[in-house]
C-alpha cells in the first residue's frame, strides 16, 4: 500500500492511530480505558472535537454497542479496550460480530513489547484467543506499522463479507515517536479478494432455471442488508412475482407489508414459508447461509427443489445445502444482472398457497396473541402496539429469548435496518448496549430496546452509559419471571421440569430511577397503550417494565430434530 504524502512529521504511535481513525471517517468510539492503552487515551483527550468517545460500563457492552452502531448506520463500529481482562471481556461480543458478519475494529492495548511472554501484569495472548472469532487480527510492536495495519484493519472489516478485526498494540508502540508520512486508506490487499468476480454464465443459468419454475421461492438474509441491496431485491421480487421470506437478520430488507413478503423462516417462523419450502420447485437463497435454525433437518430440507444460492462468501456455497446453481458476488451487483434476464411473471396460484397457510396461522396463533381481550398481557400485543405507534419506522433492538422471536414475528417495518438482534450466537445481554450504539448510529430514529427479565440483567450496568451520555433509548422489559425460552423447552420436552429457569428480578423501574431514567410499571391491559405513548413521547430515555403471561409459549415451532415442513402450530402437535 503506497503512501501519497511526501513530507513527514514526527509523531507518536497513539497520534498516528487517532489520525487514521479520523481519516476513516469514524465519529464514535465505544471503550473503556486501562493501563496498557493509556497513551492512546491521553492522545484522545485532545481529539474531543473530532471523535466522540462513549465510556461504557463493561467491555462487552462496548462491543455490542459498536455492533448496534454498525448495524443501524452501515458504518464500521470501533472499540477501545485495555489488555488482559479488558481484552478478554471483548470475546463474547467479537464472537457475536463474527457469526453475524458485523464490521467492527477493536483496538486493544498490550503490555510493553519486551514483556511479552513473561506473564506480565494484565498480559494475555489475545491474538490466539481471538484468532477463531475474528476476520483478521494483528499485533503491533513498532509504531511505524500503525498507519498501514490500521488501514488494512478497516478495509478487511468492512469489505466483502464484513466482520470483526482486532489490532493489539503494545504500550511502547503507542508511545514511540516515528517519522509519520501520513495516512492512506487501503483499497487492495494482494492475498485478499473480498468480492468474487461475478460470472455472467452463472447468472444466465440461474435465470433459465427461474424462468422455467412453476413454484419458485426466494429466501433472503442479512447479505441483502450488508450489501445495501434492498432496492435491488425488491425490483427482482416485483418483476419475477416470486414470494419471498426472510431470516431474522434479513428482516426489514423488504417492507413487512409488501404483497410478496410471505414472512419469516426458521424454528419460530411463519407456518407457510416453512411448510412450502418443501413444496417449491426452485429455491433462490440470497445472502443467507442455511443455518440450522432455518433448515431444520438437512436430510429433509427442500429435497424436491433446485437450489440457487447467491452469496458473497464462497465458503458458504455447498457448505450445508447442495446447490444447482451458485452465484458468487455482492448482491448489489448480482441481483440487477439477474433481474435483467428473468421474465416478468405473476405466480398467483402459488402465492395463494402462502396466503392460505398463513391465514391458518393467523387464526390459530396471531389473532389471540396480538389482540387478546382477557387474561394476562401477551408479548405480542405489546410489540404490535409499539409498532403501530411508531408507524413501522422505529429500530427494534431485541435481546435473546422468547421476546426476540415475538419482535421478529410481529414488528412491522417500512424501512431497512430496522431490526437489530443477535442471530447466530444468540447472546443474552446484547439488547441494551446494542440499542445504545444504534441510537448513536441513527440519532434521528426512534430506538426501542426489547428485553426479557433474564437478558436485561446481563448488561444492566449500561444504564450508567445512558445516564452519562443521554441517548434517547426506549427500554421495554417483558417480565415473565422466567428464562422464557429455556422454560418453554422444559415444558414441551422435559415434562415441565423447570430446572433453574424461575428467575427473581429487581424492581427495574426503581433501578432505572437510580440511573436518572424515568419509568413505569404496567400490569393491566387498560394501562398498556397509555404507558407506551408516555414512553414514546418522553424527551429522554424511558423504561417500561411490563408484566406478561408467565407460562406463555412462542408458536409456530419446528421441534428440534424435525424438518421445516414438520412445523407445529400448537403444543398438542409435538
Q: Is residue 493 annotated as part of the catalytic site, yes or no?
A: no
Catalytic residue among 75, 135, 152, 171: 171
Place of cell 509504531: 143
Q: Is residue 234 annotated as part of the catalytic site, yes or no?
A: no
Catalytic residue among 3, 25, 50, 121: 121
Q: Is residue 451 annotated as part of the catalytic site, yes or no?
A: no
Which residue, among 22, 56, 43, has the nearest Cα to 462 in the 3D structure?
Answer: 56
DSSP 553: -
The angle at the Cα of 68, spanning 65 to 72, to the nearest 5 degrees, equals 145
Catalytic residue among 1, 122, 144, 175: 122
Spatial distance between the Cα atoms of 19 and 11, rounded to a whole number of angstroms: 10
CB of 66 within 8 A of CB of 89?
no
3-state secondary structure (DSSP) of residue 468:
helix
Spatial distance between the Cα atoms of 44 and 516, rounded to a whole number of angstroms: 28
Q: Is residue 59 annotated as part of the catalytic site, yes or no?
A: yes
Which residue, among 407, 463, 452, has the nearest Cα to 428 in the 3D structure?
Answer: 452
Surface-to-core class of residue 394, CB atoms within 10 Å of its CB (0-12 exposed, 13-18 middle, 19+ buried): buried
Catalytic residue among 24, 59, 369, 413: 59
DSSP 343: P
Catalytic residue among 264, 405, 485, 557: 485
Task: Name the CA radius of gyration of the chain, rounded.
Answer: 24
Question: What are the backbone dihedrals phi and psi of residue 178, each rounded to the nearest 5 degrees, phi first?
Answer: -150, 170
Cα 332 to the chain's mean position, in Å?
Answer: 20
CB of 16 within 8 A of CB of 148?
no
Q: Is residue 138 annotated as part of the catalytic site, yes or no?
A: no
DSSP 165: E
Spatial distance between the Cα atoms of 18 and 33, rounded to a whole number of angstroms: 15
CB of 182 within 8 A of CB of 5?
yes
Active site residues: 59, 121-122, 171, 485
Amino acid at each position: 500500500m503506497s503512501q501519497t504524502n511526501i513530507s513527514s512529521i514526527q509523531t507518536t504511535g497513539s497520534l498516528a492511530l487517532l489520525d487514521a481513525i479520523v481519516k476513516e471517517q469514524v465519529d464514535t468510539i465505544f471503550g473503556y480505558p486501562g493501563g496498557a492503552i493509556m497513551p492512546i487515551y491521553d492522545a484522545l483527550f485532545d481529539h474531543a472535537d473530532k471523535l466522540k468517545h462513549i465510556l461504557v460500563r463493561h467491555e462487552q457492552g462496548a462491543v455490542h454497542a459498536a455492533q448496534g452502531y454498525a448495524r443501524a448506520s452501515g458504518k464500521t463500529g470501533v472499540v477501545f479496550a485495555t489488555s488482559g481482562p479488558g481484552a478478554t471481556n471483548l470475546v463474547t461480543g467479537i464472537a457475536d460480530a463474527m457469526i453475524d458478519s458485523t464490521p467492527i475494529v477493536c483496538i486493544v492495548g498490550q503490555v510493553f513489547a519486551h514483556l511479552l511472554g513473561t506473564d506480565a501484569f494484565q498480559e494475555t495472548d489475545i491474538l490466539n484467543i481471538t484468532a477463531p472469532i475474528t476476520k483478521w487480527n494483528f499485533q503491533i510492536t513498532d509504531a511505524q506499522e500503525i498507519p498501514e495495519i490500521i488501514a488494512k484493519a478497516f478495509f478487511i472489516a468492512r469489505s466483502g463479507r464484513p466482520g470483526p478485526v482486532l489490532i493489539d498494540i503494545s504500550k511502547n508502540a503507542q508511545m514511540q515517536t516515528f517519522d509519520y508520512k501520513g495516512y492512506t486508506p487501503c483499497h487492495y490487499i494482494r492475498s485478499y479478494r473480498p468480492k468474487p468476480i461475478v460470472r455472467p454464465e452463472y447468472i444466465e443459468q440461474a435465470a433459465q432455471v427461474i424462468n422455467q419454475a412453476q413454484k419458485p421461492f426466494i429466501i433472503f438474509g442479512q447479505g441483502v442488508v450488508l450489501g445495501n441491496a434492498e432496492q435491488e431485491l425488491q425490483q427482482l421480487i416485483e418483476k419475477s412475482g416470486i414470494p419471498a421470506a426472510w431470516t431474522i437478520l434479513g428482516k426489514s430488507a423488504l417492507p413487512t407489508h409488501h404483497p410478496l413478503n410471505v414472512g419469516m423462516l426458521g424454528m419460530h417462523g411463519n407456518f407457510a414459508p416453512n411448510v412450502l419450502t418443501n413444496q417449491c420447485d426452485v429455491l433462490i437463497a440470497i445472502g443467507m447461509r442455511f443455518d440450522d435454525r432455518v433448515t431444520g433437518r438437512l436430510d429433509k430440507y427442500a429435497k424436491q427443489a433446485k437450489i440457487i444460492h447467491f452469496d458473497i462468501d464462497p465458503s458458504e456455497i455447498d457448505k450445508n445445502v447442495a446447490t444447482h446453481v451458485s452465484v458468487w458476488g455482492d448482491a448489489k451487483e448480482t441481483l440487477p444482472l439477474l433481474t435483467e434476464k428473468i421474465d416478468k411473471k405473476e405466480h398467483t396460484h402459488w402465492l395463494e398457497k402462502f396466503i392460505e397457510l398463513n391465514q391458518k396461522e393467523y387464526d390459530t396463533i396471531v389473532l389471540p396473541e396480538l389482540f387478546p381481550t382477557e387474561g394476562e398481557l401477551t408479548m405480542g400485543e405489546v410489540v404490535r402496539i409499539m409498532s403501530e405507534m411508531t408507524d413501522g419506522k422505529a429500530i427494534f433492538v431485541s435481546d435473546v429469548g422468547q421476546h426476540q422471536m415475538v419482535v421478529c414475528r410481529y414488528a412491522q417495518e417500512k424501512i431497512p435496518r430496522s431490526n437489530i438482534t443477535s442471530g447466530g450466537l444468540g447472546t443474552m445481554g446484547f439488547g441494551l448496549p446494542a440499542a445504545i450504539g444504534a441510537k448513536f448510529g441513527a440519532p434521528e430514529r426512534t430506538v426501542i430496546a426489547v428485553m426479557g427479565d433474564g437478558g436485561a440483567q446481563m448488561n444492566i450496568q449500561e444504564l450508567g452509559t445512558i445516564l452519562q451520555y443521554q441517548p434517547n433509548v426506549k427500554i421495554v422489559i417483558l417480565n415473565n419471571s422466567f428464562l422464557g425460552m429455556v422454560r418453554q423447552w422444559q415444558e414441551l420436552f422435559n415434562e415441565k421440569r423447570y430446572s433453574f429457569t424461575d428467575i427473581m428480578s429487581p424492581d427495574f423501574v426503581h433501578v432505572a430511577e437510580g440511573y436518572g431514567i424515568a419509568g413505569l410499571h404496567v400490569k393491566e391491559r387498560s394501562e398498556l397503550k397509555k404507558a407506551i405513548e408516555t414512553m414514546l413521547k418522553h424527551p429522554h430515555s424511558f423504561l417500561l417494565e411490563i408484566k406478561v403471561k408467565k407460562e406463555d409459549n412462542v408458536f409456530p415451532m419446528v421441534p428440534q430434530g424435525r424438518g421445516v415442513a414438520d412445523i407445529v402450530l400448537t403444543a398438542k402437535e409435538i
